[in-house]
Amino acid sequence: MPSCAMRGLAIAAAMNLAAMCGGCAAPGLGAADGGTDGGAEPDGGCIAAPGVLEGERSVASRNLPALVWTGAAGEVRLDAFHAPCAAPGTLVVLRQLAAWSAPALWHVGHTAPLASMPGVTVLDLWAADGDAMPMTPAQLSVFSGFYDVAPGALVADPDETLGPLALAGIALPLVAVVDARTLHVERVLTDPRAGEVEQVVRAVQARLAGEPLPRTPDPVLVDGRFSRDRWDLIVDMARVPVPSASPSNAVADRPEAAALGHGLFEDPSISPAGVSCASCHDAARAFTDARPRGMGIAEVRRNTPTLLGAAWVRWPFWDGRADSLWAQALGPIESPEEMGSTRLEVAHRIAAAYRGPYETLFGALPPLEQASRFPARGMPGEPAWEAMDAADREAVTRVFANAGKALEAYQRTLPLPVSPLAAYVGGDFDALTQDQRHGLESYLVAGCAQCHSGPLLTNGAFHSIAMPGVGEGPDLDLGRASAFEALRASPFRAQGAFSDAPGTPDPLARLSTVPAATRGAFRTPTLRGIRLSAPYGHAGTFTGLRDVVRHYGHVRTLDPDPRVAGPPDPHLREFDDEHIDPIVRFLEIL
């Protein structure tokens, strides 16, 4: 997250909880937010014998049991932080985090004010990585680099130990302020504002020590609306992104490759049915097709996603069954429902119409004019293809892969829409109307920025949001859960023989089973150009923005739908209908 000096704006660290947390009690109100059953400190100074946790204890009851996690160096036990003889106000602050959550990452990058407070130990519980996959201890060293100062400990917690403390939706970070003497949870905060945790800690320490409660300072807000953390998120949303590297494609950023890719993208002769990439990706519609589901030779099961921001997508397709944009580009070409072509037909078309540009980039084409060796049509599984010599099959497949790399190079040049949000964060507050600013507030209050964050307004991760698909029962669309087998089997993986960086580490190597949370999970789409890319959802379920925003607001109380593969993500929060129209007004400027 950017530090955002705010051009001289002094943003107060402490915020008023009642005003900024949707009705939560203000710091220091004790039992109004769950209270405490820690009890009075007995004579002698100790709450209990060291290491003894007496009575019935559960996370839901706020009397924490002897929880055990795994850190990078081995086992980490909560009772190691139990200090029954400590001074009143000695606290452990537990933070449930995920690397896909922008608010969680903001707090991680601003750990220093909390960790420096006297009598406070910060213990961070990482549930998931940036792809919303379960966190493993081996990954923790990577995420330690996100901190401005290291916490007391950080552990992998894929089971989200603190989940029972959340009343409705685990808005991250989920923070538990714990009395180290009793391991009782004194306060719970979800998605707190900048400085809010520190203010609550001061209030809890004062109450436990029998001292006067500290005054809650008046918040200082940017444009009279946004706390420091939320403003930092807004600034990041308006940032001009730098395209991600594409190490498996050596020509990804070469203009001549983009020119070749543009030709292939527009060329209907790539397909015997006359279907081009541009047939479904119309520039006037944010490179979509205005249909619920894509239509090539036949209608497919999923909506045509926008190509805006494609250069930054880690896992293309709705289910992430490719690991590069060039590999993704090859799938529709050989799909019998989409373009109905084959790699031999693509190679012959390149030889006929694009030989010069191709050979300048990739070297000589194979002798495709030799019809006895290179039939007019063929792909794996077809008799004509299987009858070819293995070396000739590999040569044609390399031409096919190179076509995908040129298509990627073209897509990486597609400009993003210009939004007035950039002028707004630059200090021109009139760049957004009052309605649009109110919509931006609602967008943040409703939790949209948990996933739709950063300059592309997406975390690129996979979440189940109870969005109906096409088919049910044995034909149910399982989303991400069905993608791992296809990705591992693909010859066009970043680790494969046609990659320009075959030594790329395999991010799937750590997965021995398909994580349960991936069932029914689909990639978070970008919101750039969203007004132009209706209908919405991986199956084009919703025709308008208001419909899809309302779905989010009610997702946790929807009736069961047999077209939905998995339960909704536990981090989704419901919001009142009063936020729907303001959010739509904001989305329309993106």
- Residue 40 pLDDT: 41
**Terminal CA-CA length for the chain:** 20
Is the model's pLDDT at 32 over the cut of 70? no
User: Which of the four pLDDT bands, split at 50, 70 and 90, describes residue 556?
Assistant: confident
- Residue 492 pLDDT: 97
Among 56-65, 265-274, 369-378, 578-587, whose mean pLDDT is lowest? 56-65
Q: For strands 174-179 and 184-190, give the pairing.
A: antiparallel
Closest CA to 547 of 528, 526, 530, 523: 530
SS (H, E, C) 218-270: CCCCECCCECHHHHHHHHHHHCCCCCCCCCCCCCCCCHHHHHHHHHHHHCHHH
- Residue 23 pLDDT: 31
Is the model's pLDDT at 78 over the cut of 70? yes
What domains does the chain contain, in order, with CATH numbers?
A: 6-38+53-237 (3.40.30.10), 255-411 (1.10.760.10), 419-477+520-587 (1.10.760.10)
Residue with the bigger pLDDT between 242 and 65: it is 65
Closest CA to 479 of 507, 450, 509, 517: 517
The mean pLDDT value for 41-67 works out to: 78
Structure tokens belonging to residue 108: 């991680």
- Residue 169 pLDDT: 84
Residue with the bigger pLDDT between 243 and 77: it is 77
How many other CB atoms are found less than 10 A from the CB of residue 326?
30
Cβ-proximal residues to 119 (8 Å cutoff; 6+ apart), any chain: 86, 87, 89, 90, 91, 205
Residue with the bigger pLDDT between 18 and 556: it is 556
- Residue 509 pLDDT: 87
Cβ-proximal residues to 103 (8 Å cutoff; 6+ apart), any chain: 171, 172, 173, 191, 229, 233, 449, 450
Task: Summarize pLDDT for 463-517 with one digit per residue, the tens.
Answer: 999 999 999 999 999 999 999 999 999 999 999 999 999 989 998 888 889 999 9
Residue with the bigger pLDDT between 112 and 216: it is 112
Task: Summarize pLDDT for 325-383 with one digit per residue, the tens.
Answer: 999 999 999 999 999 999 999 999 999 999 999 999 999 999 999 999 999 999 999 99
The mean pLDDT value for 71-100 works out to: 96
- Residue 51 pLDDT: 67
Phi, psi angle pair for 245, to nearest 5°: -65, 155
Is the model's pLDDT at 48 over the cut of 90? no
Closest CA to 175 of 2, 50, 24: 24
Mean pLDDT, all residues of the chain:
90
- Residue 242 pLDDT: 83
Is the model's pLDDT at 26 over the cut of 90? no
The mean pLDDT value for 168-174 works out to: 91
Is the model's pLDDT at 38 over the cut of 50? no
- Residue 50 pLDDT: 66
